[in-house]
Amino acid sequence: MIITKEKINEFINTLQYEEYCKKTILKYRTDIKKLANFMKQSKICKEDMIEFKEYLCKKYKPRSVNSILAACNLFFTHQNRLDLKVKQLKIQHTAFCDEERELSKREYEKLLRAVKQCEDHTMLLIIQTLGNTGIRISELPFITIEAITSGKAEIRMKGKNRTILIPKGLKQKLQYYATKHEIKKGPVFVTKNAVPYDRSNIWRKMKYYAEIADINPSKVFPHNLRHLFARQFYRIKKDIAQLADILGHSNINTTRIYMISTGEEHQRILEKMQLLL
């Protein structure tokens, strides 16, 4: 079997027919092209795939390697060449995360104070909305006037539907913001031209305010607010299945990644065990 442009396009068309989201399709195309470039128009055998896997291991982190291999394996499944599929790497779940990556509740509050001090009311409310609902930045347009009125937002993304509740305090802030900006229907966070805020602008502004708040900018980005929400929710409820539903995860193992404590928290637990003489 030789990977050709025609085979790749056929694969992409099948993914579109099966209603995969655009971002996933783009990623799969990129991953299959990596394999095609590695093979350089040569015929593929199982030994080649093992060599490709070794090549990926030298260039990427384990999770990235598995992600690329998953795309290749799906491609071979569609080509009815199951003999070319290779096993993914076995990754041991980490007991704790790097403190340099996770945003703490204290840092989150510090960030809010910095944004408030700069009187950027829109960014202040966007950050609070992401932090208090656990939604993805791409799901922000589902926070609408209708959602505020009912107290819940219907999220429809990637072929999945879920309902998230809007806390009363956040609901009041959103209602006040919408009234002040004369937003009467549709998404709350829109520009003067009624266009939803660009995610890249939100990302850049968060980095800007992180520096003002004297917080490591590598910790401050929209998806880390989702992680913060998950950790805070789990500390109170201790129900990972419910949390998975709220976050829109179809696999609880994905939710488990959000639950990893920081090294400092892990150290405190070890000290409390008191197993020394």
How confident is the chain (277 residues) per 10-residue block, as mean pLDDT? Answer: 93 92 91 95 93 95 93 95 94 62 90 96 96 93 95 85 93 96 92 84 95 94 92 87 86 75 62 72
238 and 151 in a single domain? The answer is yes
63 in any annotated domain: yes
147 and 65 in a common domain: no
According to the model, what pLDDT value does residue 4 have? 93
Q: Are residues 182 and 120 in the same domain?
A: yes
Residues 143 and 46 in one domain: no
| pTM score | 0.70
Assigned domain for 90 exists:
no
Determine the Cα–Cα distance for residues 24 and 85; give it in Å rounded to an integer.
20
Residues 111 and 192 in one domain: yes
Closest CA to 190 of 136, 142, 134: 142
Do 207 and 119 share a domain, yes or no?
yes
Question: Both 13 and 126 in a single domain?
Answer: no
For residue 75, give its domain range. Answer: 5-84
Quote the number of domains for the chain.
2
Identify whether residues 123 and 63 lie together within a single domain. no
Tell me which residue has tokens 């892990």.
266
Domain identity same for 121 and 163: yes
User: Distance (Å, rounded) from C-alpha 218 to C-alpha 102?
Assistant: 9
